[in-house]
Amino acid sequence: MSCHDLRRNYGKLVAVNGVSFDIRPAETYGLLGPNGAGKTTVISIIAGVLQADAGQVTVAGRPITPRAIGAKAAIGYVPQELALYPDLTGRENLRFFAKLYGLRSSETKRRVDEVLGIIGLSERAGQLVSTYSGGMKRRLNIAAGLLHRPNLLILDEPTVGVDPQSRNAILGNIETLAREGMAVLYTTHYMEEAQRLCDRVGVLDEGKLIAEGTVRELTAMVGEQDRVRLTVAAEPQELARRLNASDLGHSAAVDGNEITLLVKDAPTALPAILDLAGQTVRSVIVEEPDLEAVFLHLTGKSLRD
């Protein structure tokens, strides 16, 4: 998949502003960004659901637009919202989507059984989707995008609202698919998911791709900086301002009563930080560099914002 200089506006709002990146076969590419960064708009354009105002997308060498009917068969799209029919059984849902992608009857049956096995829903396949748990629905939602063995699988935040056990199963399935050669575009604001799954990551903020690379390359961008999380009893904004003004760290961001600060050498700097914070500090966590730190460094915002 290759996208070049994608642009899309909603009225005066610039949702996507010149986004370009490529995904190679068998590569899992993570698109990271907070809510409203433009992730869903970018993948809607790549999936051929939305028309870009400008720019170009190609998958398996063929241009993708909402009218490029044939080329869309190369893409499996798993939307962020559950896109299933609750009054049909799991098997009926999959059968419908398989036929929608042009699978023949015999192939449909075989592939539906196969995919049900992959997502661990074979035994519940004959029951109405309305009776499924949230995690089961999420797994079925992903399965519906896999039936036709796409070249590119697009997953838009597939683990939102999923219990840890189902999340682990979903991530395991995606790892298996990537190993089998499928290119995967994965959007999330869960940094640990991106770190586990993604070969490369693009960081999206306010419609722009502000950084791209492997997890190692990106963490190197923030240098050997640790992340210090302080939970304070009161006035976190004021403390964040004072920390940013000091030479103890930088990019202090506030999320509720928690302040996240990037620090070059946490063990050395911590006493001075606590001294500055005074008696308002309730807890301290020190973390080594990760994608969250990268995002904080690049945007000054938390991924969960």
Partner 1 sequence: MKTILLIAGKDLRQRLRDRSAYLQAIVLPLALAFIYNLIFGSAATPRPFEYAVADLDRGLVSQAFTNQVLPSIEQDGYIKIRLVGTREEAASLAKEGTVDAAFVVQQGFPSTAGIDIVASPDSPTGVEVARSIARSFVSELNAVQLAVAATKPGDATQDELVQRALATASPLLVRDISAQEKILSLQTYFAAGMAVFFLFFTVQYGVSSILDERNLGTLVRLLAAPIPARTILAGKLATSFLLGLISMALLVVATSLLMGAEWGDPAGVALLIICGILAATGVTAVVASLARTPESAGSWQAVTAVVLGLLGGAFFPISQVGGIMSTLSLLTPHAWFLRGLSDMAGGASALAVLPSAAALLAFAAATIGIAVIRLSKVLQP
Work out the number of other CB atoms within 10 angstroms of the CB of residue 172: 12
Q: Which is nearer to partner 1, 72 or 227 (CB)?
A: 72
**CB of 216: closest distance to partner 1 in angstroms?**
33
85 contacts partner 1 (rule: CB under 8 A): yes
Taking CA atoms, 38 is separated from 45, 205, 210, in Å, by 11, 7, 12
3-state SS, one letter per residue, for 77-128: EECCCCCCCCCCEHHHHHHHHHHHCCCCHHHHHHHHHHHHHHCCCHHHCCCE
* Number of other CB atoms surrounding residue 49 within 10 Å: 16
Task: Choose, by CB under 8 A, the member of 26, 60, 83, 274 that binds partner 1.
Answer: 83
CA atoms within 13 A on the CB side of 41: 26
Kindly indicate which of the ranges 97-105, 211-219, 259-267, 278-286 contains the residues binding partner 1, using the contact rule CB under 8 A: 97-105
Q: Is residue 82 involved in binding partner 1 (CB under 8 A)?
A: yes
- The CA distance from 274 to 248, in Å, is 11
Q: Determine the interface stretch with partner 1 among 99-107, 203-211, 225-233, 273-281 (rule: CB under 8 A).
A: 99-107
* Binding status of residue 50 toward partner 1 by CB under 8 A: yes
> Is 160 a residue that touches partner 1 (CB under 8 A)?
no
Of 61, 69, 164, 267, the one binding partner 1 by CB under 8 A:
69
Nearer to partner 1, 130 or 133 (CB): 130
Question: Does residue 262 belong to the site contacting partner 1 (CB under 8 A)?
Answer: no
| CA geometry: angle 222, 226, 227, nearest 5 deg | 100
Residue from 30, 79, 202, 236 that binds partner 1 (CB under 8 A)? 79
Could you say whether residue 134 binds partner 1 (CB under 8 A)?
no
Could you give the 3-state DSSP secondary structure of residue 178?
helix
Residue 146, SS3 per DSSP:
helix
Alpha helices in the chain (DSSP H): 39-46, 69-72, 90-100, 105-118, 134-146, 164-179, 191-197, 215-221, 236-245, 266-277, 291-299
Neighbour order of strands in the sheet with 226-232: 250-255, 258-263, 226-232, 281-287
Q: Per rule CB under 8 A, is residue 47 in the interface with partner 1?
A: yes
Question: Please, what is the minimum distance in Å from the beta carbon of residue 214 to partner 1?
Answer: 29
Say whether residue 73 binds partner 1 (CB under 8 A).
yes
Q: Are strands 183-188 and 152-156 parallel, antiparallel or unpaired?
A: parallel
For residue 185, state whether it binds partner 1 (rule: CB under 8 A). no
Task: State which of residues 70, 256, 267, 271 lies at the interface with partner 1 (CB under 8 A).
Answer: 70
Exactly one of 97, 132, 186, 190 binds partner 1 (CB under 8 A); that residue is 97
Shortest Å distance, C-beta 83 to partner 1: 4
Q: Which is nearer to partner 1, 49 or 276 (CB)?
A: 49
Binding residues vs partner 1 (CB under 8 A): 44, 47-50, 66-67, 69-73, 75, 77, 79, 81-88, 92, 96-97, 99-102, 144
